Structure 1
Amino acid sequence: MDLYGLKTCDTCRKAQKALPEARYVDVRQEGMPEAVLAMALERFGTALVNTRSTTWRGLSEAERTEAPEALLKAHPTLMKRPLIVDGAAMHLGWGADTRAALGV
Protein backbone atom coordinates (compact mmCIF):
# COMPACT_ATOMS: atom_id res chain seq x y z
CA MET A 1 0.00 0.00 0.00
CA ASP A 2 1.30 3.45 -0.96
CA LEU A 3 0.11 6.71 0.56
CA TYR A 4 0.80 9.85 -1.49
CA GLY A 5 0.61 13.18 0.29
CA LEU A 6 2.57 15.96 1.96
CA LYS A 7 4.49 15.59 5.19
CA THR A 8 3.10 18.96 6.36
CA CYS A 9 -0.55 17.95 5.77
CA ASP A 10 -2.47 17.11 8.97
CA THR A 11 -4.88 14.84 7.12
CA CYS A 12 -1.99 12.90 5.60
CA ARG A 13 -0.45 12.51 9.06
CA LYS A 14 -3.72 11.05 10.37
CA ALA A 15 -3.83 8.58 7.49
CA GLN A 16 -0.18 7.67 7.96
CA LYS A 17 -0.73 7.05 11.68
CA ALA A 18 -3.77 4.84 10.97
CA LEU A 19 -1.94 2.96 8.20
CA PRO A 20 1.55 2.31 9.60
CA GLU A 21 2.21 -0.45 7.05
CA ALA A 22 1.74 1.96 4.12
CA ARG A 23 4.78 3.33 2.29
CA TYR A 24 4.57 7.12 2.57
CA VAL A 25 5.51 9.19 -0.49
CA ASP A 26 5.86 12.98 -0.12
CA VAL A 27 4.77 14.27 -3.55
CA ARG A 28 6.59 17.56 -3.04
CA GLN A 29 9.95 15.85 -2.55
CA GLU A 30 9.62 12.60 -4.49
CA GLY A 31 6.92 13.41 -7.03
CA MET A 32 4.34 10.94 -8.22
CA PRO A 33 5.08 8.15 -10.68
CA GLU A 34 3.60 8.77 -14.13
CA ALA A 35 1.63 5.52 -14.06
CA VAL A 36 0.04 6.33 -10.69
CA LEU A 37 -0.84 9.86 -11.78
CA ALA A 38 -2.43 8.56 -14.99
CA MET A 39 -4.49 5.95 -13.11
CA ALA A 40 -5.59 8.51 -10.52
CA LEU A 41 -6.64 11.00 -13.20
CA GLU A 42 -8.55 8.27 -15.01
CA ARG A 43 -10.32 7.26 -11.81
CA PHE A 44 -10.94 10.66 -10.16
CA GLY A 45 -10.63 13.16 -13.02
CA THR A 46 -10.67 16.80 -12.00
CA ALA A 47 -11.53 15.83 -8.39
CA LEU A 48 -7.82 15.04 -8.02
CA VAL A 49 -7.09 18.79 -8.17
CA ASN A 50 -7.71 20.56 -4.87
CA THR A 51 -9.33 23.84 -5.91
CA ARG A 52 -9.61 24.96 -2.28
CA SER A 53 -5.85 24.98 -1.68
CA THR A 54 -3.57 27.95 -1.19
CA THR A 55 -1.62 26.86 -4.25
CA TRP A 56 -4.77 27.00 -6.40
CA ARG A 57 -5.62 30.49 -5.15
CA GLY A 58 -2.11 31.61 -6.13
CA LEU A 59 -2.49 30.47 -9.76
CA SER A 60 -3.36 32.87 -12.53
CA GLU A 61 -6.58 32.42 -14.50
CA ALA A 62 -4.54 31.14 -17.45
CA GLU A 63 -2.82 28.51 -15.28
CA ARG A 64 -6.14 27.34 -13.86
CA THR A 65 -7.37 26.45 -17.35
CA GLU A 66 -4.51 23.99 -17.93
CA ALA A 67 -5.20 20.26 -18.03
CA PRO A 68 -5.22 18.58 -14.59
CA GLU A 69 -2.21 16.42 -15.52
CA ALA A 70 -0.10 19.46 -16.43
CA LEU A 71 -1.18 21.30 -13.28
CA LEU A 72 -0.31 18.38 -11.00
CA LYS A 73 3.07 17.89 -12.64
CA ALA A 74 3.93 21.57 -12.29
CA HIS A 75 2.39 21.95 -8.82
CA PRO A 76 2.29 18.61 -6.93
CA THR A 77 0.82 20.34 -3.87
CA LEU A 78 -2.41 20.88 -5.84
CA MET A 79 -3.28 17.20 -5.46
CA LYS A 80 -6.17 16.44 -3.15
CA ARG A 81 -4.73 14.23 -0.46
CA PRO A 82 -4.04 11.69 0.63
CA LEU A 83 -4.12 9.42 -2.39
CA ILE A 84 -3.98 5.82 -1.20
CA VAL A 85 -3.09 3.10 -3.67
CA ASP A 86 -3.71 -0.45 -2.50
CA GLY A 87 -3.11 -2.80 -5.40
CA ALA A 88 -5.77 -2.01 -7.99
CA ALA A 89 -7.85 0.00 -5.49
CA MET A 90 -7.43 3.76 -5.12
CA HIS A 91 -8.86 6.05 -2.47
CA LEU A 92 -8.81 9.84 -2.45
CA GLY A 93 -9.06 11.78 0.78
CA TRP A 94 -9.42 10.54 4.35
CA GLY A 95 -13.17 10.62 4.76
CA ALA A 96 -15.35 8.04 6.47
CA ASP A 97 -15.83 6.16 3.20
CA THR A 98 -12.07 5.72 2.73
CA ARG A 99 -11.53 4.66 6.33
CA ALA A 100 -14.38 2.14 6.08
CA ALA A 101 -13.06 0.72 2.79
CA LEU A 102 -9.63 0.25 4.38
CA GLY A 103 -11.04 -1.18 7.61
CA VAL A 104 -9.63 1.57 9.80
Structure 2
Amino acid sequence: MNRGDLYRVAHPSTRDPKRSRIFVVVSRQLLIDSQFSTVVSAPIYSKYHGFSTQVHVDVADGLKHSSSIHCDELVSLHKSVLTDYIGKLSVLKLAELNVALKVALSIE
Protein backbone atom coordinates (compact mmCIF):
# COMPACT_ATOMS: atom_id res chain seq x y z
CA MET A 1 0.00 0.00 0.00
CA ASN A 2 1.30 3.44 -0.96
CA ARG A 3 0.31 7.08 -0.69
CA GLY A 4 -1.81 7.92 -3.73
CA ASP A 5 -3.21 4.40 -4.17
CA LEU A 6 -6.90 4.10 -5.05
CA TYR A 7 -9.10 1.46 -3.41
CA ARG A 8 -12.78 0.58 -3.70
CA VAL A 9 -14.32 0.19 -0.24
CA ALA A 10 -17.59 -1.69 0.21
CA HIS A 11 -20.14 0.01 2.49
CA PRO A 12 -17.78 2.81 3.60
CA SER A 13 -20.23 4.18 6.19
CA THR A 14 -23.85 3.95 7.28
CA ARG A 15 -24.43 7.49 5.98
CA ASP A 16 -23.09 6.80 2.50
CA PRO A 17 -25.90 5.78 0.11
CA LYS A 18 -23.49 3.99 -2.26
CA ARG A 19 -22.70 0.30 -1.90
CA SER A 20 -19.04 1.13 -2.49
CA ARG A 21 -16.85 4.19 -2.86
CA ILE A 22 -13.31 4.73 -4.07
CA PHE A 23 -10.82 6.32 -1.68
CA VAL A 24 -7.29 7.58 -2.17
CA VAL A 25 -4.73 6.95 0.58
CA VAL A 26 -3.28 10.28 1.75
CA SER A 27 -1.34 9.29 4.89
CA ARG A 28 2.41 9.72 4.85
CA GLN A 29 4.30 6.62 3.74
CA LEU A 30 5.94 6.14 7.16
CA LEU A 31 2.50 5.68 8.75
CA ILE A 32 1.29 3.40 5.94
CA ASP A 33 4.33 1.14 6.41
CA SER A 34 3.97 1.08 10.20
CA GLN A 35 2.01 -1.31 12.41
CA PHE A 36 -0.67 1.36 12.82
CA SER A 37 -3.98 -0.20 11.75
CA THR A 38 -5.55 2.80 9.96
CA VAL A 39 -4.64 5.30 7.26
CA VAL A 40 -6.10 8.68 6.38
CA SER A 41 -7.99 8.60 3.09
CA ALA A 42 -10.00 10.97 0.92
CA PRO A 43 -13.23 9.90 -0.79
CA ILE A 44 -13.82 10.20 -4.51
CA TYR A 45 -17.19 11.48 -5.71
CA SER A 46 -18.63 11.74 -9.22
CA LYS A 47 -19.39 15.45 -8.67
CA TYR A 48 -16.69 18.06 -9.25
CA HIS A 49 -17.49 21.59 -8.09
CA GLY A 50 -14.13 23.16 -8.89
CA PHE A 51 -13.26 23.89 -5.26
CA SER A 52 -9.58 24.31 -4.40
CA THR A 53 -9.95 21.35 -2.03
CA GLN A 54 -11.00 19.02 -4.85
CA VAL A 55 -8.76 17.24 -7.36
CA HIS A 56 -10.26 16.29 -10.71
CA VAL A 57 -9.60 12.65 -11.68
CA ASP A 58 -10.90 10.57 -14.59
CA VAL A 59 -10.42 7.51 -16.78
CA ALA A 60 -6.68 8.21 -17.13
CA ASP A 61 -6.45 7.77 -13.35
CA GLY A 62 -8.15 4.35 -13.40
CA LEU A 63 -11.74 5.47 -12.85
CA LYS A 64 -14.79 4.65 -14.94
CA HIS A 65 -15.80 8.31 -15.32
CA SER A 66 -14.83 11.86 -14.44
CA SER A 67 -14.78 12.37 -10.66
CA SER A 68 -13.02 14.33 -7.93
CA ILE A 69 -11.10 13.68 -4.74
CA HIS A 70 -12.68 15.61 -1.87
CA CYS A 71 -9.97 16.70 0.58
CA ASP A 72 -12.50 18.36 2.90
CA GLU A 73 -13.90 14.94 3.82
CA LEU A 74 -10.86 13.03 5.07
CA VAL A 75 -11.54 9.81 6.96
CA SER A 76 -9.51 7.22 8.80
CA LEU A 77 -9.97 3.76 7.29
CA HIS A 78 -8.78 0.45 8.64
CA LYS A 79 -6.12 -0.99 6.35
CA SER A 80 -8.05 -4.27 6.24
CA VAL A 81 -10.87 -2.66 4.19
CA LEU A 82 -8.40 -1.45 1.54
CA THR A 83 -8.21 -4.65 -0.49
CA ASP A 84 -9.87 -3.82 -3.84
CA TYR A 85 -6.98 -1.99 -5.52
CA ILE A 86 -8.02 0.26 -8.43
CA GLY A 87 -4.78 2.01 -9.36
CA LYS A 88 -2.55 4.88 -8.32
CA LEU A 89 -2.40 8.59 -8.92
CA SER A 90 0.21 9.96 -11.30
CA VAL A 91 3.00 12.16 -9.96
CA LEU A 92 1.15 15.19 -11.36
CA LYS A 93 -2.14 14.25 -9.64
CA LEU A 94 -0.29 13.54 -6.39
CA ALA A 95 1.16 17.07 -6.55
CA GLU A 96 -2.35 18.47 -7.10
CA LEU A 97 -3.57 16.39 -4.15
CA ASN A 98 -0.83 17.86 -1.94
CA VAL A 99 -1.97 21.38 -2.80
CA ALA A 100 -5.64 20.55 -2.15
CA LEU A 101 -4.76 18.96 1.21
CA LYS A 102 -2.81 22.07 2.23
CA VAL A 103 -5.82 24.24 1.40
CA ALA A 104 -8.24 21.89 3.19
CA LEU A 105 -6.08 21.84 6.32
CA SER A 106 -5.14 25.53 6.10
CA ILE A 107 -1.41 24.79 5.89
CA GLU A 108 0.77 27.47 4.35
TM-score, length basis structure 1: 0.28
Structure having the larger proportion of residues in helix: 1
Q: Which has the higher strand share?
A: 2
Q: Give me the TM-score of the superposition, normalised by structure 2.
A: 0.27
The answer to which structure, 1 or 2, has the higher relative contact order (CA under 8 A, 6+ apart) is 1
